[in-house]
Amino acid sequence: MAEYRVLLVDDEEEFVSALSERLMLRGIEVDSALNGEEALARLVEKEFEVVILDVMMPGLGGLEVLRQIKSTHPNTQVILLTGHGATREGIEGMRLGAFDYLIKPVDIEEMLEKMKEAAKTARTG
Amino acid sequence: MPEKVRELSRVKEIGFMGKVTASLSHEIKNTLAIINESVGLMGDLLRRDAPDDWPPYSRLTNLMGSIEEQVQRSAAIVKRLNQFAHSMDKPLVDLDLNETVNQTVLLAQRFATLRRVNLETQLESKPLHLLSDPFRLLYVIFGFIEGAINCSPKEAEVRVKTARSGERFQVTITDQGTVEADKIRALVSASPSAEGEQGESDLALLAQTVEALGGTIAAEQGDGGLNKVVLSFPASMPVI
């Protein structure tokens, strides 16, 4: 049985595909979405402890998706994916309730560590 | 151009440089992220203890193909960045307006994609040679394209066309957006001000730079509710 469920949201399909497979090889249940609208639809269908969310996406941007997730699924923890660290988006994201952020390209061990902590927070509420 | 306006323009030009380089660096980061995960996945697959599926040739071949594509994509982005950087080498060069417009559209593409707007070009078939400032041309054309993108609804089209009109060369930007020709005419005629509402003040400053390049701006309402901005430049910009 998977340790926890993760929703991976990024508009780069190849990135999502490769990372999803890497996480699944590590026993994590992963679902994915290629845009914000799809992500919100997935969250209606299923509960996820953790969402890995790209900040810059066409259409509904990452920060707006974050805002909606925190409103409708307050226990779900969101880790933002950003191209740079202390940007306006990163800081705003933390203010909106993101659990943490990761800078692309990500180190998978660092990501796993943060996801584990986030999942623990999601379960303990 | 009055000194204060020149200073405001300078600030905006620097902002334009920052915006474009940040956008290109973000695109490069995305390609690196894909390469990073693809290589990581290759390592994961090779380390697996799966004798029935060893070696995973087809998966590895697919991943290598993906890496090659992303390397090509990165190279194209770096080329755009390099061309952008070199546009600042000299303030007066003999250039082809078609190439400048093409370069500008490539730089603006990501901004259009983020807003789900379709950016199209329709370039004159023959080269349009003019003597001008390559960076400032990029800056003004980008500015008007960005304005069109920002006021366009999702799935709308912004079209950028080049044409020769007598001794002058035109760049026409057509959009289906919410800011109409009358408003654009008023904004480009206004006096630039640091206190002005962002966007509105930007158009006034862009207009000043167009004028410094020897250009003119016309805003028209086209058929079917299309907004049209026509930038017209001389074959040789005035030298101060």
Q: From chain B, pick out residues whose CB is under 8 angstroms from the CB of A19.
A: 37
Q: Is B190 exposed, middle or buried (0-12, 13-18, 19+ CB in 10 A)?
A: middle
Question: What is the average pLDDT across B118-130?
Answer: 96
- Hey, are the CB atoms on A59 and B116 less than 8 Å from each other? yes
Work out the percent of chain A whose per-residue pLDDT is above 90: 86
Q: Which of A26-35, B13-22, B152-161, B172-181 has the lowest mean pLDDT?
A: B172-181
Type of residue at A88: R
Nearest CA in chain B to A11: B30
Chain B residues whose C-beta sits inside 8 Å of any chain A C-beta: 25-26, 29-30, 32-38, 40-41, 44, 48, 63, 66, 70, 113-116, 154
Give the pLDDT confidence of A49-105 residue by residue, as tens digits: 999 999 999 999 999 999 999 999 999 999 999 987 667 788 889 999 999 999 999
- The residue length of chain B stands at 240
Q: Which long-range contacts (CB under 8 A, 24 or more apart) does A112-116 make?
A: A112/A26, A114/A79, A115/A4, A115/A6, A115/A28, A115/A50, A115/A52, A115/A79, A116/A3, A116/A4
CA atoms of B184 and B200, how far apart (whole Å): 9
Query: Does B157 score more than 60 pLDDT?
Result: yes
State both tokens at B65: 């193909």
- Helical H runs in B129-170? 134-150
Min distance B68 CA to chain A CA atoms (Å): 13
Residue at token pair 């600030």? B11
Count of A-B CB contacts under 8 Å: 58
- Hey, are the CB atoms on B30 and A21 less than 8 Å from each other? no
pLDDT at B189: 78
Work out the percent of chain B whose per-residue pLDDT is above 90: 71
- Hey, are the CB atoms on A56 and B38 less than 8 Å from each other? no
- Hey, are the CB atoms on A83 and B25 less than 8 Å from each other? yes
ipTM of the complex in this document = 0.91
Nearest CA in chain A to B24: A83
pLDDT at B202: 83
Give the pLDDT confidence of B189-223 residue by residue, as tens digits: 776 665 555 556 688 889 999 999 999 999 988 77
Give the pLDDT confidence of B52-73 residue by residue, as tens digits: 777 788 889 999 999 999 999 9
Q: Is A123 exposed, middle or buried (0-12, 13-18, 19+ CB in 10 A)?
A: exposed
Q: Is the Cα torsion angle B218, B223, B227, B229 positive or negative in sign?
A: negative
The pTM for the full model equals 0.89
Nearest CA in chain A to B110: A58
Question: What is the average pLDDT across B162-175?
Answer: 94
Min distance A8 CA to chain B CA atoms (Å): 14
- Hey, are the CB atoms on A18 and B66 less than 8 Å from each other? yes
| Bridge partners, A101 (sequence order) | A80
Work out the percent of chain B whose per-residue pLDDT is above 70: 94
CB-based contacts of B35, cutoff 8 Å, min separation 6: A105, B67, B70, B71, B74
Q: Which of B27, B34, B63 should one mutate to test binding to chain A, selecting the residue with the greatest count of A CBs within 10 A? A: B34
| Bridge partners, A16 (sequence order) | none
State both tokens at B41: 């996945």
- Hey, are the CB atoms on A18 and B38 less than 8 Å from each other? yes
CB-based contacts of B132, cutoff 8 Å, min separation 6: B92, B93, B95, B213, B214, B233, B236, B237
Q: From chain B, pick out residues whose CB is under 8 angstroms from the CB of A25.
A: 44, 48
